[in-house]
Every structure is written in C-alpha cells, then in structure tokens.
Structure 1
C-alpha cells in the first residue's frame, strides 16, 4: 500500500497504517514515519500530506549527512574514467583510418583538452537536473543541493563549477577547506551556497 505508513511507536516500527487509521492515533509532530518509496524515516511534520491531515505546520528538513571531500574526489575520478573511456573509443575509431603514426599521436593528444571541458559540462547539466549529481556521485549516493535543501538551478550549477577554479588554483586548499567545515563545504560550495549531501533523506 503506497499510501500506508510505517510508524515508530515506543521505539518500534509498526504498521503499515492507512491515513484514516493514523488520524486517530494521536501522533505528534516528531513521530517518525516512513512511506513506500521513502529511503529513510522522517518526522511527521516534514511530510505535507500528514501536516494537512493532522494539522501540523510543515517544516522543511535540513540536510544532515554531508559528503566529505575525499568521497567527492572519488566521484570525480569515476566521472573522468567514464569520459576517458568514451574518449578512447572515439579517438581509436578515428585513428584507425589514419595510416601515419605521427598523425595518430597528434590526433590523440590534440583532443585531450576536450576531457576537462566534457567534465565541466557533465557537472553543470547533471547537477542541475533532477538527478542532482553526475554518474560518479550517483554511484556513491551523494547529491548537490542548495543550502535550503532545494534543487540547484542551471545558473547556480554553472557558477559552482566556475568557482571550482578557485579551489583548484589555490593548489587544492579550497578543497581541503571542506574537511574543516561543519557542512563539508569547499570554497566553491560556500560561494555558490550549495551542499553535497549523502542521498539519505532527499
């Protein structure tokens, strides 16, 4: 039953209960509940339909589980691996039609700058999509969101990835700063007002 909820009562999950049943259960705003399709429990006041049913004031959940810079680096390496694989397939296909060894090397090396550009475009468009992250981030279960937990816009995603130049040109200090920030925000996150969170309550 997709409209039914599991309810934590006296520390134990019970149910499922229908909305009609829940209305007579004297639930409080901080009662933990879980509905089909939810990855984790939420408090009742964080769910719009329960607020409407039970008269609670809707409160947006704040992100609590942040992705550390080393996990984000691993996600970036996965993305580069995916891009490099496609790059090699395309380049090897092209150079197979070239006979001169010199031209083969020249073609292979001349298109290397495409890789970071492709990574930039991947970041901008995928982080602003409903996916909220690149392939690497999705594989590791992390997402990019606004500081208020909403989806970032395309312009915000673009600026965030431009600001990464500061984190990079600082010899990595901008990334290392994330280890010393309570919300694991690197310089580009703080400038763009974004968070990278573990995909648990979103």
Structure 2
C-alpha cells in the first residue's frame, strides 16, 4: 500500500495524500508533511522517499537550528570589541610617544575609518575560512554557510558583507527580517544566499 502524508496548507493540515497526489500539488522542499508513523511534521526535503520522488536535496542541517537574533547581536558586539581593541591599543601606544595635540586628533579620527575597514576585511576572511565564523560567532557557537549548509566562497563572503549596507539603511530594518522568516535570515543573508546556523549540529 502506498504511504500517505498529511500536508500543511495555509497553516492547516490537510490530507491524507498519496505520493502521486503530493507530486501533483507541486509541494516545495520547505512544506511540512507528516505520515501516520511520524511523531511530528517535518519539511518534505527531510524525508528520503519524498526527496527521491520530487528531486529535493538533502538538508545539511536541522532546519529549526538557526542562529537566533540575540546570538548574532552578541557575536557582533564581541567582534566590534575585538577589532576596536586590535586597532586602538597600537594607536594608543603610538600616541604616548607623540606630544603634538594635532597628531593625537589625527590618530583618533583615522580610527573612525580604519576600524570599520578592518572589521569588513576581518568578517570576509573569517566567514569563508574553514571555521566559517568570526571569533564572536565562534564564542556563540554559530557560523555562516550557504543555503545547502556548505562553506561559503570568498566572493560570497564579500557580497554578504557588502549587502549589510542594505540591512543597516534605514534604521537597521534589514536586521529585523530575521524575525519574519523561518530560516532567521537578515536582509543581507537573503541577498547573498547565506544562513547563520548553530555550529554544534555539524
């Protein structure tokens, strides 16, 4: 007997449907289904039988384990602290040996440019590295991957961090997108095709 599945449509479970009926409904990999032998609903791409029938790819991570907004915010704060410290400490040591007030002001103003540039480069290098994460993200046990859960390329890391401009303007609204989609993507993640996931699942 062909297995049957219940399918969540517009927030409500409907069915049961057999495999041919599911195929005719053109379900997507992220649609939630449940068979009689399952304890809870799963995404269609998590079920081997449906992957084979509908050509879905194997998920590289458990869908509900994405980096949360508070984890990402704290990781960002830590990264700002690390990068600022990396830049400010040498600047301070240099200024100790310079008595000219104008030079002190120039050093302070230059940090306003240097720190964001260093942080931009730092994020790119760390996110496309084997660790897939900045030091802040590593402390919070989250990392960046593509939509298949794989390490991102250098080019994608550049694109992701450039796209943060759109998340920040205006009023950081793009970061709030993470509250309104299942994969908790910010706007720059959507643009770059990236995810932030909890590292402990890999």
Shift of 1:70: 2.4
Shift of 1:175: 0.3
TM-score by length of structure 1 reads 0.68
Alignment partner of 1:95 is 2:99 = no
Q: What CA distance in whole angstroms lies between the structure 1 residues aligned with 2:86 and 2:109? A: 15
Give the SS at the match of 2:195: strand
Aligned to 1:199: 199
Q: Structure 2: 5+ residue runs without aligned partners?
A: 1-47, 49-56
Q: 1:75-105: CA deviations, max 9, x gaps? A: 1110110111121211011112211223212
Alignment partner of 1:135 is 2:135 = yes
Alignment partner of 1:172 is 2:172 = yes
In the TM superposition, what are the counterparts of 1:2-41 in structure 2 within 5 Å? Answer: none
Contact 1:63 1:197 in 2 (8 A): no
Gap change, CA 1:111 and 1:61, over 3 Å in 2: closer
Aligned to 1:55: none
Contact 2:174 2:186 in 1 (8 A): yes
Aligned to 1:181: 181
Shift of 1:109: 2.0
In the TM superposition, what are the counterparts of 1:101-180 in structure 2 within 5 Å? Answer: 101-180=101-180
Q: Structure 1: 5+ residue runs without aligned partners?
A: 1-44, 46-57
**RMSD value over aligned CA atoms?**
1.9
Gap change, CA 1:195 and 1:63, over 3 Å in 2: farther
Gap change, CA 1:151 and 1:63, over 3 Å in 2: farther
